[in-house]
Chains A and B, each alone.
Chain A
């Protein structure tokens, strides 16, 4: 299956902004995060299809996984 993986802010440094990645079925968000080269503690906020997602969320073909480091403002 193909998942669109998006990285933001400091996570982009030395990695990428957006990439379509292929994973086997039943891949979890945590596994996809690791495959993107992001350490678990760096992934402060994770969305799957615009909803907050836990690390054990199982991804589906066509999902968008967005990974943010700790950010704030306002």
Chain B
């Protein structure tokens, strides 16, 4: 994994392929690498859809190894949604396969000279780029069904749907899972539009003939991996709650805590929460012959994903994640799992971010375009996006755009990216992360829910401002480091509570690379990633005033706690003082 694969889609004779030694980027993986390439090579003031922007696709430092849970892929660029730097992270098969093919990252750069649509095929024998305009405007499901007949069942596919081709600013990039369903998305920040602007429909990765990556010290690596996997299996969240109920186990607890936004962030508790909860979802999936316990990639230990069948027992979609269930459910006043799962399928097929779409449809409902709770109306609005009608293009450009188009003030975005499934008025810590992360509102960037609500890694009262800055700071640093390893972020539940599991992660890195890193080095890595990302945003025009929640969060109290977001602006400005 010491080669950088650079593809210039604007080269004079058609896309050119250049394999370079990793050079100055040596020792980096995942988010550290995508953010380093973007920070160094992309002019911060460029247009995100212009020739100067680059799409960087990087497996993590431990991807492609035998390390459990190491299958996360980082995709980075300047975001067309936020205008800042973006790293969007996805599961699925791609990270492991790309790493085994020997690439530290793929960089798509330049601007295509015409409207041709390209496929890129990467095998051990090299890189082949072909025009295939027959794929234009195919949804991700039809696309993969077509391609799997040509490129086989063992390949991993990274693709965009119609939203990416139309360069909509909420477009996602899909990665296939073990069953070749295009269900694991780098969803946030509109990176699908950047891939679309490069004229690339799909990257097909086939690692046949490639070996698993070999550690420098195989014995130590094997020993560390044993402790690592045992740690993940013994923690009650990663070894119990997540595999049994999926991420949607959160619906009931966040609702109970009064932080489950309803009807476009107008209340904090949903009367229909129980109907769409992880408990109900898992029971329904089992009854219909689906699979509530399932891994999104080979080597997954936690197994939090799942397969959801319709009432006839036929595959409909993957088990919708908590964020999706909330966004398309409570936030739109919808309490029906089949509707939510259909919306999830449409999102995956069109290739668009589920969080952004749920928040956006909630805004359209608030504007009176359709009513809260209108199941068919929500499905039809999303279909408009796939068809590329003028209304669909507005919706497909996300919450900020739709709020402006329909004159809605209550638009829950930071840096123009929609807020996820936790109301910051009831859970102050996550509000600090939403406001300050360089990514725009993103729960994963510093998951304060763990300590504010779930009592993982200690407890900081969610209803008070005290302690939230330090909590978010520490989580943002840790997350930036974890996102660079290729590890699924859910390892944090075990790592925060179990010192020996944290040590096993460091031991894995040391044994693999022949290093002697300590916990301090991991912290330093996280800080360095965040610093480069913030410097990029500053050069792109962001100021401290961009590190704020929309004003309604500090003005309008929300039931049941009747509180507003209570962390002061001057405190928010201290998050990155280290």
Task: Spell out A's residues near B (CB within 8 Å).
Answer: 6, 8-10, 12, 44-45, 47, 50-52, 66, 68-74
Indicate which residue in B279, B304, B322, B443 contacts A9 across the interface (CB closer than 8 Å): B279
**Cross-chain contact B279 with A74 (CB below 8 angstroms):** no
Q: List 26 A-B contacts (CB under 8 A).
A: A8-B252, A9-B245, A9-B249, A9-B252, A9-B278, A10-B240, A44-B236, A45-B253, A45-B453, A50-B257, A50-B560, A50-B561, A51-B561, A52-B455, A52-B459, A66-B256, A69-B240, A70-B237, A70-B454, A71-B253, A72-B249, A72-B456, A72-B490, A73-B321, A73-B322, A74-B323
| CA–CA, A70 and B449, complex, Å | 13
Which residues of chain B in 243-279 are interfacial with respect to chain A, using CB atoms and an 8 Å cutoff? 244-250, 252-253, 256-258, 269, 278-279
If the complex has contacts A71-B249, A73-B304, A74-B250, are A10 and B241 also in contact, measured as CB distance less than 8 A?
A: yes
Indicate which residue in B235, B244, B253, B463 contacts A10 across the interface (CB closer than 8 Å): B244
CB of B310 within 8 A of chain A?
Answer: no
**How near does chain A come to B232, taking the closest CB pair, in angstroms?**
12
**Cross-chain contact B454 with A47 (CB below 8 angstroms):** no
Q: Map CB proximity to A onto B283-325 as digits: 1 under 8 Å, 0 otherwise.
A: 0000000000000000000001000000000000000011100
**Cross-chain contact A69 with B236 (CB below 8 angstroms):** yes
- Tell me which residues across on chain A come within 8 A of B99, comparing CB atoms: none
CB of B450 within 8 A of chain A?
Answer: yes
Closest to B321 in A: A73
**How near does chain B come to A28, taking the closest CB pair, in angstroms?**
19
**Cross-chain contact B269 with A73 (CB below 8 angstroms):** no
**How near does chain A come to B119, taking the closest CB pair, in angstroms?**
33
If the complex has contacts A52-B459, A71-B250, A73-B246, are A45 and B279 also in contact, measured as CB distance less than 8 A?
A: no
Task: Spell out B's residues near A (CB within 8 Å).
Answer: 235-238, 240-242, 244-250, 252-253, 256-258, 269, 278-279, 304, 321-323, 443-444, 447, 449-450, 453-456, 459, 461-463, 489-490, 493, 560-561
**Cross-chain contact B454 with A72 (CB below 8 angstroms):** yes
**Cross-chain contact B322 with A74 (CB below 8 angstroms):** yes
Closest to A68 in B: B253
- Tell me which residues across on chain B come within 8 A of A50, comparing CB atoms: 256-258, 269, 560-561
- Tell me which residues across on chain B come within 8 A of A45, comparing CB atoms: 253, 453-455
**How near does chain A come to B282, taking the closest CB pair, in angstroms?**
9
Closest to B269 in A: A50
**How near does chain A come to B237, taking the closest CB pair, in angstroms?**
4
**Cross-chain contact A69 with B241 (CB below 8 angstroms):** yes
If the complex has contacts A10-B244, A45-B453, A50-B561, are A74 and B258 also in contact, measured as CB distance less than 8 A?
A: no
| CA–CA, A51 and B249, complex, Å | 19
If the complex has contacts A10-B241, A45-B454, are A73 and B257 also in contact, measured as CB distance less than 8 A?
A: no
**How near does chain A come to B493, taking the closest CB pair, in angstroms?**
5
Closest to B494 in A: A72
**How near does chain B come to A33, taking the closest CB pair, in angstroms?**
15
11 more A-B residue pairs beyond the given contacts A9-B241, A73-B242, A73-B247, with a C-beta to C-beta distance below 8 A:
A10-B241, A52-B257, A68-B252, A69-B241, A70-B456, A72-B241, A72-B250, A73-B241, A74-B322, A74-B443, A74-B447
**How near does chain B come to A21, taking the closest CB pair, in angstroms?**
17
- Tell me which residues across on chain A come within 8 A of B257, comparing CB atoms: 47, 50, 52
Indicate which residue in B247, B248, B250, B463 contacts A51 across the interface (CB closer than 8 Å): B463
Closest to A66 in B: B256
**Cross-chain contact A73 with B250 (CB below 8 angstroms):** yes
Closest to B462 in A: A52
**How near does chain B come to A63, taking the closest CB pair, in angstroms?**
13
Closest to A71 in B: B241
- Tell me which residues across on chain B come within 8 A of A73, comparing CB atoms: 241-242, 246-250, 278, 304, 321-322, 490
Minimum-distance CB pairs A-B, first 4: A73-B247, A70-B236, A72-B237, A71-B241
**Cross-chain contact B561 with A8 (CB below 8 angstroms):** no
- Tell me which residues across on chain B come within 8 A of A66, comparing CB atoms: 256
| CA–CA, A66 and B250, complex, Å | 14
Indicate which residue in B245, B247, B278, B462 contacts A74 across the interface (CB closer than 8 Å): B247
| CA–CA, A72 and B489, complex, Å | 11
- Tell me which residues across on chain A come within 8 A of B321, comparing CB atoms: 73
| CA–CA, A69 and B240, complex, Å | 10
- Tell me which residues across on chain B come within 8 A of A68, comparing CB atoms: 252-253, 256
- Tell me which residues across on chain A come within 8 A of B561, comparing CB atoms: 50-51
- Tell me which residues across on chain B come within 8 A of A12, comparing CB atoms: 279
Closest to B463 in A: A51
Closest to A51 in B: B463
If the complex has contacts A47-B257, A52-B459, are A71 and B279 also in contact, measured as CB distance less than 8 A?
A: no
- Tell me which residues across on chain B come within 8 A of A70, comparing CB atoms: 235-237, 240-241, 454, 456
Closest to B456 in A: A72
**Cross-chain contact B256 with A47 (CB below 8 angstroms):** yes
**How near does chain B come to A15, taking the closest CB pair, in angstroms?**
13
- Tell me which residues across on chain A come within 8 A of B304, comparing CB atoms: 73
| CA–CA, A21 and B510, complex, Å | 54
| CA–CA, A6 and B274, complex, Å | 11
**How near does chain B come to A23, taking the closest CB pair, in angstroms?**
20
**Cross-chain contact B444 with A74 (CB below 8 angstroms):** yes
Closest to A47 in B: B256
- Tell me which residues across on chain A come within 8 A of B461, comparing CB atoms: 52
| CA–CA, A47 and B252, complex, Å | 12
| CA–CA, A72 and B247, complex, Å | 7
- Tell me which residues across on chain B come within 8 A of A51, comparing CB atoms: 463, 561
**Cross-chain contact B244 with A9 (CB below 8 angstroms):** yes
| CA–CA, A51 and B269, complex, Å | 13
| CA–CA, A24 and B405, complex, Å | 57
> Could you say which of A10, A44, A52, A71 has the most chain B C-beta atoms within 10 Å of its C-beta?
A71
**How near does chain B come to A6, taking the closest CB pair, in angstroms?**
8
| CA–CA, A58 and B545, complex, Å | 44
